Chain A
């Protein structure tokens, strides 16, 4: 059971470069991810867009594990700024969770 917070995406995004909503959930990113983490990045973005904040907070380690190598991004048919979106999530975590 997870609480849904529809405003969560507004809390996370810092600029127009946060474009997770362009993701069409095709799964190419997860298939090519060198980390092989199935959650990264499409499921994670889906949690953000749906406002399932608890699920995002549960996955702190995954969010910081991403290499930001952009292999997913060069293969993304929707040209989502995946690495930048992950960086926004880190910014959010730093501020709200770690109080940095």
Chain B
């Protein structure tokens, strides 16, 4: 039988309500990427990760367990799991990611911080108070839990007198820029993706990369947040010949990732379709969303080389 929808959604919502994150990640893991960078705590302008990149290794580890459970008799026990999870962090126990994956996600965040520094942006960071935005629970329609959590997030911003937020992924950008204003009265924070900021600053590359790569747009950036040209401008200026796969830009094809928490098999099936489209134009591809990256990587199985956009940008604009 498939994963029971109600109990799976319930576990994720309970985690956000009780543990402030859909999958609990320790405070040390959240801010490990910033170690040694000397970023000030808080400030008027902050880099807000929304824990998305930090969560990816845990989502991936849990997803492997879910794939085994899906369509097996064990799926019946998710109901029991939900009850136990309220008291013992079951999802945290099941999701133990490999160190290498945690390190590569940390590297992406450190690269983004370097790029912003290179562009002359001064920003702080919230460290262990860099909370999850609630994106998954929003998508799943658990609005009451989301609203309470959004207030918690905004209270942290108020505590540090934050006015400008730099986001690193499309899900967090969408939540903070388009969803929170409808939930929180008087919400007036300026939210921009780091890609928008880098494009505005007209950064000059220090090294020309001279390679070709397909671009996989995120649905949220392309259709919700109108972040479409910035990534192309930055890549082209970096010396990358940007190849557009079928269904790109505003009409980009979903990576399948949004189905991952409830239907892992379907998620992989749709990711494979996207990988097939990408490989027709290049064996190399860039993503700008951690969910797209991990879902497409899993489906590609090494057939194409997928990298987060920041990996190329840091080589070109920071010189390596």
Interface residues, chain A, with chain B CB atoms under 8 Å away: 14, 34-35, 60-61, 64-65, 67-71, 73-74, 87-94, 97-100
Contact = CB atoms under 8 A, between A and B. Distances in A.
A94 B140 contact: yes
Nearest to B140: A90
Interface stretch (B48-56, B247-255, B310-318): B247-255
Contacts of A100: 6, 9-10, 13, 142, 145
Given A74-B251, A94-B9, A100-B6, A67 B219 contact: yes
Contacts of A14: 143
A61 B141 contact: no
A74 B249 CA distance: 12
Nearest to B250: A74
Given A61-B5, A71-B254, A73-B223, A87 B266 contact: no
B5 A69 contact: no
Contacts of B200: none
Contact of B223 (A34, A60, A65, A74): A74
B223 A69 contact: yes
24 contacts: A34-B253, A61-B2, A61-B5, A64-B140, A64-B262, A64-B263, A67-B254, A67-B256, A67-B270, A69-B223, A70-B219, A71-B219, A71-B223, A73-B223, A74-B251, A87-B139, A87-B141, A88-B141, A91-B141, A94-B9, A98-B9, A98-B10, A100-B10, A100-B145
Contacts, number: 75
Contacts of A65: 259, 262-263, 266
Given A64-B262, A65-B259, A65-B263, A94 B141 contact: yes
A41 B263 CA distance: 19
Nearest to B256: A67
A73 B7 CA distance: 29
A32 to B, nearest CB: 9
Contacts of A69: 219, 223, 254, 258
Contacts of A94: 6, 9, 13, 140-142
Contacts of B263: 64-65
A74 B223 CA distance: 7
A85 B139 CA distance: 12
Interface string B104-137: 0000000000000000000000000000000000
Contacts of A71: 219, 223, 251, 253-254
A98 B5 CA distance: 9
A21 B252 CA distance: 27
B89 to A, nearest CB: 19
Nearest to B139: A68
Contacts of A92: 141
Nearest to A95: B144
B15 to A, nearest CB: 12
B174 to A, nearest CB: 10
B19 interface: no
Interface in B1-57: 2, 5-7, 9-10, 13
Nearest to B254: A69
A75 to B, nearest CB: 8
Given A34-B270, A94-B142, 12 more contacts: A34-B253, A34-B273, A35-B266, A64-B5, A68-B258, A70-B223, A70-B224, A71-B253, A92-B141, A94-B13, A100-B6, A100-B10
Contacts of A61: 2, 5
A87 B9 CA distance: 13
Nearest to A98: B6
A67 B223 contact: no
A67 B258 contact: yes
Nearest to A75: B251
